[in-house]
Amino acid sequence: MESSIRTKGLVFGYNPEKMFQFPDLDILKGEQWLITGRSGCGKTTLLHILLGILSPHEGEVSIYGTSLFALSGSARDTFRGKNMGVVFQQPHLIPHLTVKENIELSCYFSGKKYKEADILSLLQKLNIGNILKAYPSQLSAGEQQRVAIARAVIHSPRILIADEPTSSLDDENCHEVISLLQSVSEMYQSTLLVVTHDSRVKEAIKNRTTLDFS
Which residues of the chain are under the pLDDT cut of 50?
none
Cα dihedral across residues 79, 81, 84, 88: positive or negative: positive
Three-state SS for 6? strand
Q: State pTM to two decimals.
A: 0.89
pLDDT of residue 9: 96
Model pLDDT, residue 17: 80
Q: Of 92, 90, 96, nearest to 169 (Cα)?
A: 90
Give residue 88's pLDDT: 86
- The phi, psi pair for 175, rounded to 5°, reads -65, -35
Q: Are the CB atoms for 11 and 21 separated by under 8 Å?
A: yes
Nearest Cα neighbor of 85 from 144, 166, 148 is 148
Give the model's pLDDT for residue 214: 53
β-strand 66-67 against 191-195: which pairing, if any?
A: unpaired
pLDDT of residue 58: 95
* CB-CB contact of 42 with 211 (8 Å): yes
| pLDDT score of 213 | 65
pLDDT at 35: 94
Superfamily holding 3-210: P-loop containing nucleotide triphosphate hydrolases (3.40.50.300)
E strands within 16-151? 18-21, 26-28, 32-36, 58-63, 66-67, 84-87
Could you tell me the CA-to-CA distances from 177 to 32, 111, 115, 206 in Å, in that order?
14, 27, 25, 17
Question: What per-residue confidence (pLDDT) applies to 48?
Answer: 94
